[in-house]
Amino acid sequence: MSIWFTEELHPYYRKSLRVKRILADEQTQFQHLQVVETEFFGNALILDGIIQLTEQDNMGYHEMIVHVPMLAVGAPRRVLIVGGGDGGSLRQVLRYPSVEQVVICELDRRVVELSRQYFPKFGDPWSDPRATLLVRDAFGYLEENPGQFDVIISDTTDPIGMAERLFSDEFYRLMVRALTPGGAAATQCEQPYFDTALIQSIYQAARALTKNPAYYYAQIPTYPGGGIGFMYVSDTPWQNGLNTPYPPGENEYLNPEVHRAAFALPEFFRRVLYGG
């Protein structure tokens, strides 16, 4: 008998993965956390019934959310990751020799613990002396640290429950305030077809705070609609990153052509977001 994990975020859309076995299933202090082994996508991390990553396709998400702002800044020294307890974004950030410190604000310690156990392909970025894990809410930390970070990566879950305020105008204001001059941020920013109004609202907030915000996206088969978007938030143009050498190590998703094309939006969505 086949076992399928089915995710239903909308009453008109659902997707399923065939599951070989359940590796972890627990209710933490904050959320329902599962790790399952699937037949094609490898191990998958699921929070509150929503797929966060799989071994097979996580590279599109982690490389795009990290490298676009990191390359735009050029040689970032201090980086903040909001969320990111699986370690995938941290692994990409630590590829940069210029990085002196990475602070990870993750609310749920069990995400870190189980990810270290079940996603060995990430290596163990948590053991790097440049990484500092803070098990706490990111809002308070941002309020306490204005002007401290060259790059901020908001690697969050969907805007449901406690994560909803990480998509608010107030969060974006605090995030921009925590950047150094010329710094850049990238945030998980949902899917053009299903979340158009939310993305439009976030873009308006980013445009009020910075000179060069822009939406871009990546293909991730296990996310709703087969892709996920990001908001680039900075006074520094994202195009600066096209002329910056990649950090040591091999990319699995990002190359110069993908980097440039990620900002080319389908016409229906471009009109909604940018007008004209």
The alpha helices in 164-236, defined as continuous H runs, are: 169-177, 196-209
Query: Mind listing the pLDDT tens digit for each residue in 126-183?
Result: 999 999 999 998 989 999 999 999 999 999 876 555 556 666 888 999 999 999 999 9
Q: Which pLDDT belongs to residue 28? A: 96
* The model's pTM: 0.96
pLDDT for residue 167: 67
CA 29 to CA 110: how far, in whole Å? 9
> Residue 188 belongs to what H/E stretch?
strand 179-188
Residue from 271, 256, 265, 268 nearest 63 by CA: 256
Backbone φ/ψ region at 120: left (φ over 0), alpha (ψ -120 to 50), beta: alpha
Is 155 considered catalytic here?
yes
Q: Which of 86, 108, 150, 155 is catalytic?
A: 155
Which residues does the chain have with pLDDT short of 70? Answer: 1, 158-167, 276
Domains of the chain: 3-54 (2.30.140.10), 58-274 (3.40.50.150)
pLDDT at 162: 56
